[in-house]
Structure 1
Amino acid sequence: MMIKKKMKEAAIGFALGAVGGSIMGATEDPVDRTLAAMTSASQLKPLIEDIRTVGALGLGTLMGASALTIAMTSVVAGVVMAAVVASVFVTTRNCGTTTTNYANLWANAGLAGAFGTTLSGATLGFLIEMIVNNFGMIGLLCALSIFSILKPPLRFVFNVLWEQGEACCTQGSMIWDTERKQIEISDLEQRERVAVQIEERILTINNGMNTPDANDTSTWATERKLREGLERKKTEAEEAQVKQRTLQDWIKTVMIKYVDFLAFSGIPMTVVAVVTSLFGLFGYGGHHSVFIVLVALVAIIGYLILKSSDFKFWMLVGCMGMLATFVIAMLTVQAGDEIRNQKGQPQDVNGDSISDRMSDRSSREALKTAIIAAKLCQLSLGATVGGPLVRHAAGGSKVIIGAAVISVVLLAGVEILSPALGKGGKAGALLGVVGTSGVSVGAVAAMAGQCSSWPRTSGAVAGVIIGALVMGNFHFVMLGVQLFVAYTFAMTNAF
């Protein structure tokens, strides 16, 4: 009997893990195909032309910072939309004490979050593509700088608007007050009615009529049932009100953390991109000596952030984004150096030919590594959402399956709308889908991490690996990196 129970637990864990792993693997091929289309000669032309303006370092940091900005902003947009929908449900008391109402709450919030992430990613991707095609890297640098400067003031405005929205949403408290008054009135009426019945019974006994009456018995039974019903309603109302306040406080906490994350996490990588681009504008974008300045800049910013006594989630992601931008810049420069160091071909003697090939190779590497970094960022941030949802008792299987189903629907929608989205818009939308799949993978990781049943944990781990390999492109190294990142962020207490 015990063996049968363990096998059942392992099967359930494997099935849930396979769902999360399959949807993570299913996003690989669309992203790879979109990346291949973006690295075609026609799409790379603006990058190749501008690499001489900002240099290979500047191009790498700009592409990395832009791609990571899309990933971070789209995730926050999805979380904001999900939080708004959940808050409306809570304040209007559409989420009662029943399981069905809470399932509706999470389902609607999840749909809003996934739609917001995908739509935001598509919009930002389309805008960046348009800026690069029309204004080049200088336009992208200006847009990225302006956006980074505007985010802290927008954070203040958003917090004010959120507080005003909470103050205006008084319907929930009015419903609670009305129900409490109704219960108090019913309770008072019942007490008065019972008091009158007792007085009548006393008068009857004093008059010598002490014969039990069937009507009296049924009346007392009815009053007892009414009393029990009122007590039950009062208890349920108090429990629902406490649950509502707890959920509303959690939603507000999540909102504050993610808005802070949006406002400040992109500043370190934007500073790196601006500095390296300025070096490129002055003609030092390809000099290896600039690496010394870049390493020093990254080290100083990282030290100042890590030195903070009040370390926050956005600081962690900000450091990681800055390091990712630095790595993308290094890979961009190295790709160009590989072409210059090649030997053997007679046509390579031509300096212009070598320069063109270096620019082409550097541009491809910058775009490729930027998309990969943004994909990992989206997956990790999605896992940061999925993990806490499971730990807050939203239901592990519901989060895993729900996020996977939404991801499949979004993938189909992106493929249908791809002609209208363009290459940049499609890439941004697919990054949003990766974030939604990250919610499912993060939920699997959280379920496996906190589950006391070893068979279910082992089954979940095996399921997510096999599902990702079957549905993906058998990139073992990339799979390992994705699972490690997803698990790490799913178990991180970002709130």
Structure 2
Amino acid sequence: MAPSWKNLRSALWEGAVCFVLGAVGGCALGATVTPVHQAMTEIISGSLLKPVMDGVRTIGPLGLGTLLGATALSTTMTTSAAGVTVAALVTLLIIKFKKNESPSGFVLIATGLAASLGTTSFGAALGVIIEKYIMRSGVVALLWALGILIVFKAFIHIVLHLAVRERTCCSVLDMPAEEQFYNRLDFLDAGQLEKVTVEIEQMLIILETEKSFDGENVHNSRVPWETQGWKRVEMKQHQNKARELTKEQRRFWEHLTSIVVKYVEFLTFSGFPMTVSAAVTAGFGIFGFGDYRFVFVVLITLVLCMAFLLMRSMHLNFWMFTACVGMFATFAIAVLTVHAGQEVLEMSVRMQKAGQVLSRENISARMEHKSSVEAIASGFFVSKMFQIALGATVGGSVDQKVLDKVIVGAAVTTVALLSIVEALSVALGIGGVTGALLGAVGTAGVSMGGAAAVALRCSSWAGTISTTAGMLSGAFIIGNWDITNIGLQVLVAYVFAMISPY
């Protein structure tokens, strides 16, 4: 009877803790719903809508959808990867300057803050640049911006690849020297031990010869040897501790270096397929074929071919998977953009059959407006989902020992970032605010990914259900009961928390 009561109490305690952790992650996600919706509403009703509508006239709704989708997702992936890369580099610098210390709570806090601030600041900077660029040159000019961004990211990848290779070579050269140093220490210890043993034997021989086995004399003779023995034991412990610390730092350094390499690879290659899709459809639109149906066939064929080439790879990397998901998301944005214009056209036909007179210019203006609004709204939604997904991959891969700290820390950081963005909204403008808010959504995704990892790693179904209930409760209550939106975000967090980007 006692064991069953003890097991029940343990399950209840686990369920309560998991519910609280899930609620913390859900509250972080719910806190981002209203600010992001306000930013999207401001863009749709503001001055940025006019250049987007001009883009519909220039390249057609299909080209506009792919172009805005590729821009939104490339920006999202760039900010997320840049934030993680900056965090890893900051951690490497801290470890380098704290050579005699193992990774501690300070390193964890510094890493989290660097990732959050890096993602948010990069998002704000890219948002400001895109806003100014669209207002000055139009939406079609985003093609040039995407091309320049790909070249710049490729340059960063080459430079970092060379730096990592040089660092690896130096590490390979340093490891034999370090092993030689420790072997020399062991050799000196062995020599010193042999020397002390000989001295003790000589002292015992002298004592036996003089037959001075008086208790006090024996005690006085043993004191120096005991002291020396304790010193040797203490020295050996310090050496073993230093050796273990060096090995731990080396493992941590190699892990962080691999993270930097993986995310820079992701940063460089993940946006390339989407940019190709956008360039092809926008190119047809520029040459006057934007409204032709064969462009849709070309787009879907291109997407399927690139997805097949990526997914059939024997070594399916993280960037390949996200690139395929991004391509299909871009295709979905394009389809929704075209469908929005078709809905207006069908409604206009029904209105004309009902006896209302509508001019062709009026119908075209309504179609352009509806397509532009749908393209912006779809791009917002997909970008938000991708930020949550990429954040969840980071939170889901965290070690079990620090998972609760990561969930709470990411949630607190999300609230702080939202407050900072709101305070700086006038200075940042709508573009900067949008980019910064998406960075905050990524931080909330880390908290959600950690909560999803807690649910997946629970020892009982009660813990899993409690965590999920906490996530949904916190997100619904703080997020104004936006059931469809929040439900999809929680599902995305669960799925991507099970994917390791490393």
> In the alignment, does 2:117 pair up with 1:108?
no
Q: Would you say the 8 A contact 2:89–2:260 is kept in 1? A: no
Separation in 1, partners of 2:263, 2:298: 31
Counterpart check, 1:355 vs 2:364: yes
Q: Which residue of 2 aligns with 1:436?
A: 443
Q: C-alpha offsets along residues 366-420 of structure 1, whole Å, 9 cap, x if unaligned? A: 0111011011111101111111123xx4511111111111111111111111111
Match of 1:460 in 2: 467
**3-state SS of paired residue (2:351):** coil
Distance (whole Å) between structure 2 residues aligned to residue 47 and residue 458 of structure 1: 44
Distance in 2 separating the partners of 1:246 and 1:169:
12
Q: Which runs of 5+ in 2 are unaligned?
A: 1-5
Answer whether contact 1:95 1:105 (CA < 8 A) is retained. Answer: no
Could you tell me how far apart the structure 2 residues matched to 1:353 and 1:121 are?
Answer: 37
Query: How far did 1:270 drift?
Result: 0.6
Q: TM-score when scaled to structure 1?
A: 0.92
For residue 192 of structure 1, report the CA deviation from its aligned partner. 4.7
**How much does 1:334 deviate?**
0.9
Matched, 1:207 2:214: no
Report the alpha carbon displacement of residue 176 of structure 1 after superposing the two structures with TM: 9.8
Give the conservation status (yes or no) of the 8 Å contact 1:332–1:365.
yes
Q: Give the aligned partner of residue 401 of structure 1.
A: 408
Within the candidate set 469, 474, 481, 1:474 is matched to 481
Q: Which residue of 226, 235, 238 maps to 2:231? A: 226
Which residue matches 1:133?
135
How far apart in 2 are the matches of 1:479 and 1:191? 71
Matched, 1:384 2:387: no
Aligned with 2:397: secondary structure? helix
Other structure's SS at 1:13 match: helix
C-alpha separation in 2, matches of 1:204 and 1:348 = 124
- Aligned residue in 2 for 1:374: 383
Please say if residues 85 and 259 of structure 2, whose CA atoms lie closer than 8 Å, have aligned partners that are also in contact: no
Q: CA deviation at 1:365?
A: 0.7
Matches within 5 A, 1:169-180: none
Q: How much does 1:168 deviate?
A: 7.9
Measured in 1, the distance between the counterparts of 2:257 and 2:501 equals 14
2:396 touches 2:498 (CA, 8 Å); kept in 1? yes
Per-residue deviation at 1:109? 1.1
Among 73, 91, 109, the alignment partner of 2:78 is 73
Alpha-carbon deviations, 1:58-95, whole Å to 9, x = none? 11111111110111000111111111112123333457
2:289 matched residue in structure 1: 284
- For 1:247, the aligned partner's letter is F
Greater mean alpha carbon deviation, residues 116-125 or residues 449-458: 449-458
> How far apart are 1:476 and its partner, in Å?
1.9
1:488 to 469, 475, 495: 495
Q: CA deviation at 1:466?
A: 0.8
TM-score by length of 2: 0.90
Q: Which amino acid aligns with 2:143?
A: L
Structure 1 unaligned runs (5+)?
Answer: none
**Stretch moving more, 425-434 or 238-247:** 238-247
Aligned to 2:126: 124
Taking a change above 3 Å as real, the CA distance of residues 187 and 478 of structure 1, as seen in their structure-2 partners, is: farther
| Aligned mates of 1:85, 1:442 — CA distance in 2 | 22
Structure 2 CA distance for aligned equivalents of residues 337 and 13 of structure 1: 47
Residue 184 of structure 1: CA displacement?
Answer: 7.6
Q: Does 1:310 align with 2:319?
A: no
Structure 1 residues 26 and 197: alpha-carbon distance in aligned structure 2, compared to 1, 3 A threshold? same
Task: Provide closer, same or farther for how the CA distance between residues 62 and 12 of structure 1 changes in structure 2, counting only shifts above 3 A.
Answer: same
8 Å contact kept, 1:17–1:460: yes
The 8 Å contact of residues 23 and 473 in structure 2, kept in 1 or not, is answered as yes
Is 1:53–2:58 an aligned residue pair?
yes
The residue type paired with residue 395 of structure 1 is V
1-structure distance, mates of 2:439, 2:366: 33
8 Å CA contact retained: 1:106, 1:394: no
Q: Which residue identity does 1:205 align to in structure 2? A: E
Give the equivalent residue in structure 1 for 2:457: 450
Q: Is the 8 A contact 2:76 2:383 kept in 1?
A: yes
Shift of 1:148: 2.1
Paired residues, number = 489
Deviation readout 1:118-153 (Å, 9 max, x if unpaired): 111111111111111101122111111222244334
The question of 1:266 aligning with 2:271 is answered yes
RMSD: 2.6
Cα 1:324/1:348, change in 2 over 3 Å? farther
Partner of 2:144: 142
**SS at 2:237 equivalent:** helix
> What CA distance in whole angstroms lies between the structure 1 residues aligned with 2:401 and 2:422?
31
Aligned-pair distance for 1:349?
A: 1.2
1:144 maps to amino acid: L
Offset from partner CA, 1:274-305 (integer Å, 9 cap, x none) = 11101111222233332111111111111111
Partner SS for 2:500: coil
Separation in 2, partners of 1:62, 1:355: 20
- Deviation of 1:273 after TM superposition, in Å, equals 0.5
1:155 corresponds in structure 2 to 157
Q: Does 1:337 align with 2:342?
A: yes
Deviation at 1:211, TM superposition (A): 2.0
Q: Which residue of 1 aligns with 2:425?
A: 418
Percent sequence identity over matched residues?
38
Instruction: Give the corresponding residue for 2:3.
Output: none
Q: Is the 8 A contact 1:24 1:434 kept in 2?
A: yes
Asked if the contact 1:128/1:424 (under 8 Å) is kept, the reply is yes
The change in CA–CA distance for 1:371 and 1:309 in structure 2 (over 3 A counts) is same
Distance in 1 (CA, whole Å) between partners of 2:484 and 2:369 is: 26
Paired residue secondary structure (2:18): helix
Q: How far does the alpha carbon of each residue in 1:313-371 deviate from its partner, in whole angstroms, 9 at most, with x for none? A: 11110011000000000111111111111133777511111111111111111011101
Counterpart contact for 2:82–2:267, Cα < 8 Å: no
3-state SS of paired residue (1:210) = coil
| Deviation larger for 30-39 or 200-209 | 200-209
Does 2:68 match 1:63?
A: yes
Rounded Cα–Cα distance in structure 2 between residues aligned with 1:44 and 1:420: 21
Query: 2:376 is matched by which residue type in structure 1?
Result: L
